Amino acid sequence: EIFGVEVPVGVIISPAGNVQQLAEYIEAERNIGGKRASFAKVHDAESDEVPAGDLKLEKFIDGDILAKAPGLPLPGVGVKTVLMTGSTGFLGRFQALAWLERMAEAGGKVICIARGADEAQARQRIEAALDTDPELMKHFRELAADHLEVLPGDLGMPNLGLDEATFDRLAETVDLIVHPAAHVNHVLPYNQLFGANVVGTAELIRLALTTKLKRFHYISTLGVNSFADGLVDEDSDIREAIPACELDESYANGYGISKWAGEVLLREAHDLCRLPVSVFRPGMILAHSRYIGQLNVPDMFSRLLFSLIATGVAPATFYAQDAANGRPRARYDGLAVDFLADSITAIGAQDTGGFRTYNLSGSHEDGVSLDTFVDWLIEAGCKIDRIDTYDEWLSHFETAMHALPEEQKQESMLAILGPYRRPQAAVTRSLMPAERFQTATQAAGFDIPPVSQGLINQYVTGLRHHGLL
């Protein structure tokens, strides 16, 4: 307020940040006269909805770059240099690993931008994300020795937190941008996620349009469907399918809108100069099927399983019961992180032009549901009592979570219990239009895996590994 500078929340709470870096950000913003895009400059700050029409590239990127972009040649088929964001994130770390494997075969390299005071700290953060399983670390280090470059940077900063010379080098050498990074927070509103998630994506688009065009892989979310009248298929233009999003305080509203905004900007870039774009929309990303400790501890699914185990209570069924009573047949739609990373990489490697969108959803009708997961947790040795009525369970569950030690309470469902305050709808098959993804997965030689008992056991092992059980 004193300096009239809007500071993205990601800059404030950056794990690599400090007061000096915060001061430098404010000073840099003052020096450029507040020219960077912000929520208030792009949208009507008083409105309760954000239209796709607000998200125009000229609000984020200099006009000279946009004017030159249509005259740049389209990228070639081969990829030798990949720029990765989000390599400390759950999906991003395994996408980075998959691209390192490909670049080792091709004689290329992966450049990872990660937050850190210097290259050593940024690299250490990448390694720390993988350092749960000795086999995983060994595999990563063997690949990284010859094929990984790490740059300390930040998507919430101008120029991605890079100096001009480094940014220009990337503009000249990068063939493909892989962008899973985001400030993932399902509580913060859109305006507080705008800097890292929307302006950061726009900065990467600026890089993709500078010197030469670069292929662009963007990780969105199936959560964009919550803003549509129906389900968004893989062919529709997101600007037409979801012409505006309503701002409210519902679960993950801000995060979902920020990913929608990234899709809109990429559509604008493709229209401008035929920028090759692949958009991947995952749903729930589950634990690694093999490596120990590789689960996304803060996500809703991990919190749910942890909370069921820690409190020792579960409902007789998670689903709304019909007149016949008993346990309804249902399914849970989630995919293991290793399958997602490998299949996204393989599919994206084949996408050399156009604009393609993939809804990452399986087609299994196997009846494996949240109730099945409780069965498997009990079989794994977890002491869980089932309570007949849902409301009675919810009361016991919430009370028991409040009684947990503080560290466990922070990792529980308490803060995000809203979606489970009433029974779930019993859906027996995926309603998500995902034919393109399912066809491309088969063509790439992958079978979409069901959620298995072994994967649920990985959660029990992983939660113990992280010291939560």
pLDDT digits (tens, 9 = 90+) for 59-84: 999 999 999 999 999 998 899 999 99
Where residue 230 falls among pLDDT bands split at 50, 70, 90? confident
Average pLDDT over residues 241-253: 94
Measured distance CA(57)–CA(205) in Å, rounded: 9
- Vertex 97: Cα angle to 252 and 412 (nearest 5): 35
Specify the pairing of strand 215-219 against strand 313-315: unpaired
What pLDDT was estimated at residue 265? 99
Contacts of 113 (CB under 8 A, 6+ apart): 83, 84, 85, 87, 122, 151, 152, 153, 154, 155, 160, 161, 162, 181
Specify the pairing of strand 49-51 against strand 244-246: antiparallel
What pLDDT was estimated at residue 15? 62
Residue 14 pLDDT greater than 70, yes or no: no
What pLDDT was estimated at residue 36? 86
Contacts of 110 (CB under 8 A, 6+ apart): 82, 84, 96, 99, 100, 103, 147, 148, 149
> What average pLDDT is seen over the chain?
94
Where residue 324 falls among pLDDT bands split at 50, 70, 90? low
Q: Position of tokens 């940077």?
A: 153
Where residue 27 falls among pLDDT bands split at 50, 70, 90? confident
pTM of the model: 0.93
Average pLDDT over residues 367-395: 97
Q: Which is the CATH superfamily of the domain at 39-282?
A: NAD(P)-binding Rossmann-like Domain (3.40.50.720)
**Percent helix, percent strand, percent coil in the chain, to nearest 5:** 50, 10, 40
What pLDDT was estimated at residue 4? 72
- Model pLDDT for residues 189-218, shown as the tens digit of each residue: 999 999 999 999 999 999 999 999 999 999
- Model pLDDT for residues 280-312, shown as the tens digit of each residue: 999 999 999 999 999 999 999 999 999 999 999
Average pLDDT over residues 245-269: 96
Of 26-40, 89-103, 325-339, the least confident: 26-40
Contacts of 64 (CB under 8 A, 6+ apart): none
What pLDDT was estimated at residue 325? 66
List every span in the chain annotated with CATH 3.40.50.720.
39-282
Measured distance CA(289)–CA(298) in Å, rounded: 18
Residue 92 pLDDT greater than 60, yes or no: yes
Residue 452 pLDDT greater than 90, yes or no: yes
Q: Determine the angle formed by the axes of helices 134-147 and 119-130, rounding to 10 degrees.
A: 140
Residue 315 pLDDT greater than 70, yes or no: yes
Question: Which candidate, 141, 462, 451, places its Cα nearest to that of 292?
Answer: 462
- Model pLDDT for residues 149-183, shown as the tens digit of each residue: 999 999 988 899 999 999 999 999 999 999 999 99
C-beta separation of 360 from 281 below 8 A? yes
> Which of the given ranges, 36-45, 80-89, 248-257, has the highest pLDDT on average?
80-89
What pLDDT was estimated at residue 187? 86
C-beta separation of 125 from 88 below 8 A? yes
Residue 34 pLDDT greater than 80, yes or no: no
